[in-house]
Structure 1
Amino acid sequence: MNSRGQRMIDLYTFTTPNGRKASIMLEEVGLPYTAHRIDITKGDQSKPEFVAINPNSKIPAIVDRDTDITVFESGAILIYLAETTGQLLPTEPKARYTVVQWLMFQMGGVGPMFGQLNHFKRFAPEQIPYAIERYTKETLRLYGVLDRQLKDHEFICGDYSIADVATYPWVAIYESQGLTLDEHPNLKRWVEAVQQRPAVQKGMAVP
């Protein structure tokens, strides 16, 4: 512990959905942290001092100064913070692996597919219709998966969990991608509910 008797986390992040997962989680579990801006538009992620923290040169990453543990990859960060605080990840095996599988669904599906759509629609130097169509269709398919899951659940796994923390920042960018949630009412209801959480609002504003 630090001199004030509290854990202290150093968060290395930027204004991306993956970065916001970590800041939302830190706000949700109530841990004190210092946010360090890693401007990926200026190449900060490739500087030696950050590569020493994350050899893959990606944000976010955290350093827990009280345990001297460094964690990169946003999903791993969420699991670490959940396990070390006892929050947002059940311990009962069935409930735990329900949350873990939906976290992996975000990591392997929602994040990469939504990210590719974001790139080809907003940042690619030229518009490639095939790529835009491919990733739009896959994004809408994943919206459908989430919408069906949320039909009978208030949150993705019933109770609010790291699955929601991981997924929300990616779904929340739908308007900037030129999409709508009108055909996915359960997903839309969930987005509106999650965005009202004070910790989410604070985390989305970091850095």
Structure 2
Amino acid sequence: MDGDLKSYLENVRACRLCAHEMSRAPNPVLQASDTARLLVAGQAPGNLADVTGTPFNDPSGVRLRDWMGVSEDEFYDPSRVAIVPMGFCFPGNDAKGGDRPPMKRCAATWREGLLSKLPNIRVTILIGAYAQKWHLGKRTAGSLTETVKNWKAFTSEQLFTIPHPSWRNTAWLKRNPWFETDVLPEMRRAIRGVLES
């Protein structure tokens, strides 16, 4: 790993900027290497990821890896896959028991600098509205559903827009069967292409 990236990751992992706004001690959860060719850009670590220090270490991660067509070993190999959420720490739960939005300060402070140190990224998976809005800006289509439906507009850039793989989105998946029949095969093909090249 490049020394500059290693130092940057050490600074990210030592970050305490949002400590006063959090119900738990900050625990940035991410993985990155300057050799990674695949970027998984999500929202923020969930409760289990925070406790274990491993991103997507929960049922959402099982579903995500299935969607991606990758094994656990492939997914957790930082030399191949960078996992860089919009917020690096678990933001806590909202009143309904879901995760709160990622802390905005995190992306504002760290994201551009970190992504600039990942020169070999060839395919990016944008999970959920927060990552899609940051990476696509005004090119988002208004709603998450419309942005995901518009996935072909981004494939020339090797960007794939997907919903969060949470069980909370099972109803969305049932209402939008095209996601599994149209988007996932193309995304898996692109992922295999970069992981096997």
Give the TM-score, by structure 2 length: 0.34
Give the TM-score, by structure 1 length: 0.33
Pair member with larger Rg: 1
